[in-house]
Amino acid sequence: MSESSWHTVTIRVPFANPKHANIAMQVIDVDPELQREAVKRNLTVDGNDLVAYVTFATSTVRLARLTTNGFLENVDLIARTIGEFGEDSERKPVLSR
């Protein structure tokens, strides 16, 4: 497939600080794309932002949509986990039974 038929999506996800953005990048980077020949992903941290450069080597936008949705679901889970168990959670009172 020629490069002119690739679809490119860039996603910028702001985090509270660079540490959280780096955690998100490390967690997501562990799992390779399922269709390596069709999806090329590059994750970077720019300041407090996780920047995902995703290039889809496919003639349809369907794969672009599916991969983007999966990526955003992962980012959502990571952000909620950081919010629940991150440094700020240490200050929250623990409820006893």
Reply yes or no on whether the pLDDT at 40 is more than 60: yes
**CATH number at 3-85:** 3.30.310.50
> What are the backbone angles phi and psi of residue 46, rounded to the nearest 5°?
-125, 100
Domain borders along the chain are: 3-85
State the Cα–Cα distance between residues 1 and 38, nearest whole angstrom: 9
More confident residue, 53 or 13: 13
Mention every residue, 6+ apart, whose C-beta is less than 8 A from residue 74: 27, 28
Reply yes or no on whether the pLDDT at 3 is more than 70: no
Taking phi first (over 0 means left), then psi (-120 to 50 degrees means alpha), and beta for anything else, what does residue 72 get?
alpha
Reply yes or no on whether the pLDDT at 80 is more than 90: yes
Span 42-66, pLDDT tens digits:
889 999 998 987 776 676 788 888 8
